[in-house]
Structure formats: structure tokens, C-alpha cells
A and B are shown apart, each in its own frame.
Chain A
């Protein structure tokens, strides 16, 4: 199945901004994160289709996964 991965802030360094990926169905969020070489401790915000998601959430066809390091403002 095809999913879209969007990276933000420092996660873009040496990686990419947005990329479509072909992954086996049932792939979990955590799998993509590990594949990208992002340590769990670096992760701030994980969104799937604009909703907060856990690392064991299974992705579905067409999902948009957005990953941010811990950031803030206000």
C-alpha cells in the first residue's frame, strides 16, 4: 500500500520533506520511524491523518504520517 510521510524541523536534515512510500499492509508507525533512523526519544509529535497516533498504530492505504521532534512556541 502507499502512504505519505512528512518530516518537519530537524527531522528534515539529511532526510526529506515529503515522500510517498510503498509499504506492506499492516505496517506500524514505529516501523517507519525506525526505518528513518529516528530515535524514539527524539520524537515529539506523531500524527496520522492529523490525529495523534501511537507507535503501534497500523497504517492504512493513503495514510499521511507526520513526524515532528519535540518543538514548541506560543
Chain B
């Protein structure tokens, strides 16, 4: 029987609760957002005792279904002030699911000035004071916890940035190779830091495992589902070969690669940081061009990037990070970006927020554009050490823009805009503007249909059809984010007719349910409306669903286009 653990950090007690009937059909984002909306006062301080940090594996996590190992984490965000869900790979989702944990809710705030660790096993959750690892980086935490408790122990941890409650802090999750995946966006690491939880260790020895109501049906659906992953050219070949970074050249050619803090749509140094160059570099140096963020991943879009001596530099080296420090900061040395990525993993900051922040910091003259060594120094010596400048930089792009009096600050609801310029990829602009999460490309990836030719074609430079496209994608994404599935299943799901029915069959076979496609769409709509209602109650209005002014006034080369949606057009997103 699945259960919910409620950890109260005020009185250091743990309660094991039955799952309320209305939460039984929920998982992942659907569950974290439902719990946050039900239990967190929308106007509370995100770092205060009334915020809650919620972890929930997806509906299919812990099963043999491919791609099902994503874990959701939710809270009120200290970066945006909105509700937040951020999901991650790693081993934790499957371990939670095998232990029968539907959700872990961390609430309250300790009276004593110290850090704690939480340990989860088949007998429950225990809280202990943590002295040895306070002040340490994520890699040291993973190594030490593994030494203490064994190799298979799962770890969810915050680095120095989370301890210092920086708004760009993320939560790191140990992956199958003892490296790091992240609940990246929205500053959830600061919430964990405010709860004074340094890390959570997970031991799933003798866990009851996940029961499947109809094993035969599940097996068949899992086979069909996996087949669609491997058959689709994006998930079956493009992603495993070049990783997500293949997009540098795609967006550059299409004129949508934000360059020099969103000044241009093309970057002169694109070839040096491209997925093709990265693939050849990894190959020549003896790294790994394929890697999965969780066991059960058959797409393998990740990689292990090594230096010219073959030594580990970073893994999970993603397009967003490479774009952000590359084109956006005009750094064309891939090794410098890789070193910076590794430090971001270690001190625990979101690599999108931090990269967008560095673009603003360069705009402000804190360091010159193109200064890769400067980025590495500021990460290690200022942000990592929590100097006054480091605390400002760790506050994210909006914070640095405010402190340094900048107007070219690419954020929505305080969150940095990712790697697609909304002026020349208009569909993703609607997602940035309207997402309940602040600027977030994953919330409704219109790039697929605008640029990549997946799920049909909508002209990226025209307004026609973009609001509807973003709406449909945001609804579908909210549902997918509840299953524990990697978002990249969307590529086959948009093009291969057997994919979505197989996914629904998997859920039905797992729970003995009889959901239809309409039910899944309905779930997505309900999640978005729940999140939106939370944001409205927190003080947000339709006027916050807007892009920064400079996108409307500064034309973006090479297409020389501006952001030109009317307020009414944007607001019509919510007509459902």
C-alpha cells in the first residue's frame, strides 16, 4: 500500500500517512502541485516555515517501462514566487516508488541553527543532525554518503548555494554513475536549505516493489512503447548520437539562437560549441557519447565529457547550458563551458538560470563577454564561497539586473529565459509568457513544431496558431510530467500513432484503471488550472504573463523581428 511521509522539521517528527483517495490517481507534477496548492498558503514566504518541499515519483516510476525514472519536486518558488515543479532523472524516483512512497512532504523549519539529513528505508524516515557534510559540495556529499551507506544508496542533496538559500540553487540527485542530475529550475535548493536539510539518503533494500495490476497487458504495452522510442528518428537516433546540443546548429541556422544576452539570433562561434563538434571531441578523447540519466532509459541523450587527457570534466552536458554560457555569453571554448558546468553541479546552481544571469552580468560590465575563465572564477570564488558579490550572482538573472540597473534582462516572472529567442520562435514565447512556472521551455516545447518539424509545422516567424500550439503542448506536458516519463517521449508521441495509446495502456495496466486519452488531457488541464489558481492567489495577474519590454522594441537579426503579440492574444491562452 502506497504511503505519504510527512517530515516536520519544526519538531523533528515524521508521520506516515495513508494516501487520501483524491490523490491516488496522481503522481509526479500532478501530485506535487496538488499538494502545494492544498497545503501551502500562496502568500507565504518561500523560505519560511509555511512553505513545503514535496517530492513525488511519477505514476509509472519503479516499473520496467522505459523512460519512467523521473522524479518531481515542488514548492512555492523563491525565484519566481509562483508554484514550482521541477523534475529530474537519477535513481530517486525508482527507489521512492519501490519503497511505496507516493510523496515525501518536508514542512516547518528547525529552531536550531544546524543542518540535518533524512534517511529513508523500508522502515520509514529518520532525521539526524549532519555536521560532517554541512558546507560541502554535491560531489563530496555523494561520495561520503556512498561510503557511509553503500554504493546503491540514493542521494538527493544541496550544495553550498542551497545552504545559503540562493534563489538560483538547485537540488541534485545521484545518477546511476554516482554523478549528478538536477531538479534545476526555480530555486528549490534554497527551499531545501531553508528547511535545513543537507541531503536525503535512500536505501531501497528489501523494498516491497511496485505492484502491477495486469502484468501481461503491461508487458505488451511496454514493448510497443519502447518500440516507438527506438523507431522515431529523434529519440531513436538524433538524441543518442549528438545529445540535446545538436540544437546549437539548428537554432543558429534558423536565426533563433539567443546571442550576446539576447541581442542577436546567430552566434559566430556556433561551430566550436555545436553538438557535432562535441560528439567528435568526446569520441576522440575517449569519453562517452551516450549516457542515460536513469536506469531504464533507452534514449541515452546524455554523455560523459572528458578533457584532452581523458579525465572526467562533466556529464549531462546539455544544450541549454552550452547555449547559455556559449552563444549567450559569447564563450566559444567548450572545455571552459564544461568546467563551469561541473562547478555548477558541485555548488548546486541551476545551469540555465546561472548562464542567463552571466549574460546579464556581462551586460552590466561585471566581466567581459566571452570571458570563460572569468565565469569559472566567479562560480568557484564568489558564488561558491558566498561572498557579497557571489550572493547577488546566485540570486539569478533578475536579481543581478536589478542590482546593476540593467534593462536587457531576459526573464519572465523572475526566471531566466532559456535557449530559444521568442521573437523568432514565437510559439515558445507564448509558453515563456504563460507558463505557471515562469520562463520554462519544457512547459510547452513549441520549438518541436516551430523549428524541428515534429508534430506538424507552424511557422516560427508568424503568430498564427502559436497560442493554440502552446496551450495543447502545455496541457500534454503537465500530464506527461505526472507519469514519471522523460519529456523526450513527446517526440514519438507527437508523430507515432501507437505511442500515446501505449502510454495510457501502461498506466491502466499498472493501476487496473480504464483511463482514456480524454482523461489524460483532462488531467493536464486540471494541473494547469490548479497551478494557475495558486499563482493568482499569490498575487499574480495576467499582466505578469508578459515578456520583457526589449523583446517588443529591439528587432532580432537575422530576421529583424520583434515580439508582437497583443495582450488579448496572450491572455486567450487561458481560454480552456
Q: A residues within 8 Å of B by Cβ?
A: 6, 8-10, 12, 42, 44-45, 47, 50-52, 66, 68-74
| Chain A residues whose CB sits within 8 angstroms of the CB of B246 once the complex forms | 8-9, 71-73
| Chain B residues whose CB sits within 8 angstroms of the CB of A68 once the complex forms | 249-250, 253
| Chain A residues whose CB sits within 8 angstroms of the CB of B453 once the complex forms | 44-45, 52, 70
What are 18 A-B contacts with C-beta separation under 8 Å?
Answer: A10-B241, A42-B233, A45-B250, A45-B451, A45-B452, A47-B254, A51-B559, A52-B453, A70-B452, A71-B242, A71-B246, A71-B250, A72-B239, A72-B488, A73-B239, A73-B301, A74-B244, A74-B442
The answer to whether the Cβ of B247 comes within 8 Å of any Cβ in the partner chain is yes
Q: Are A44 and B452 in contact (CB under 8 A)?
A: yes
Q: B residues within 8 Å of A by Cβ?
A: 232-235, 237-239, 241-247, 249-250, 253-255, 266, 275-276, 301, 318-319, 441-442, 445, 447-448, 451-454, 457, 459-461, 487-488, 491, 558-559
Interface residue SS majority, chain B: helix
Q: Which residue of B lies closest to A8 (CB)?
A: B249
CA distance A42 to B234 in the complex (A): 11
| Chain B residues whose CB sits within 8 angstroms of the CB of A50 once the complex forms | 253-255, 266, 558-559
Asked if A66 meets B243 with Cβ closer than 8 Å, knowing A45-B452, A52-B459, A74-B319, the reply is no
Asked if A70 meets B454 with Cβ closer than 8 Å, knowing A9-B238, A10-B237, A50-B255, the reply is yes
| Chain A residues whose CB sits within 8 angstroms of the CB of B255 once the complex forms | 50
| Chain B residues whose CB sits within 8 angstroms of the CB of A73 once the complex forms | 239, 243-247, 275, 301, 318-319
Q: Which residue of B lies closest to A6 (CB)?
A: B253
Q: Are B254 and A72 in contact (CB under 8 A)?
A: no
Q: Are B459 and A71 in contact (CB under 8 A)?
A: no
Q: Are A74 and B250 in contact (CB under 8 A)?
A: no
CA distance A42 to B275 in the complex (A): 19
| Chain A residues whose CB sits within 8 angstroms of the CB of B239 once the complex forms | 71-73
Q: Are B249 and A72 in contact (CB under 8 A)?
A: no
Q: Are B234 and A70 in contact (CB under 8 A)?
A: yes
Q: Are B245 and A51 in contact (CB under 8 A)?
A: no
Asked if A8 meets B441 with Cβ closer than 8 Å, knowing A44-B452, A50-B559, the reply is no
Residue among B235, B275, B441, B448 making CB contact with A9, cutoff 8 Å: B275
Q: Are A72 and B276 in contact (CB under 8 A)?
A: no
Q: Are B441 and A72 in contact (CB under 8 A)?
A: no
CA distance A71 to B318 in the complex (A): 15
Q: Are A8 and B250 in contact (CB under 8 A)?
A: yes
CA distance A42 to B243 in the complex (A): 18
Q: Which 8 A-B pairs have the closest CB atoms?
A: A73-B244, A71-B238, A70-B233, A72-B234, A50-B255, A73-B247, A66-B253, A71-B246
Residue among B275, B441, B442, B457 making CB contact with A52, cutoff 8 Å: B457
Distance to closest chain B CB from A6 (angstroms):
7
Apart from A71-B233, A73-B239, A73-B318, what are 8 other A-B pairs with CB-CB below 8 Å? Answer: A12-B276, A44-B452, A52-B254, A52-B460, A70-B232, A71-B239, A71-B247, A74-B487
Residue among A9, A51, A70 making CB contact with B276, cutoff 8 Å: A9
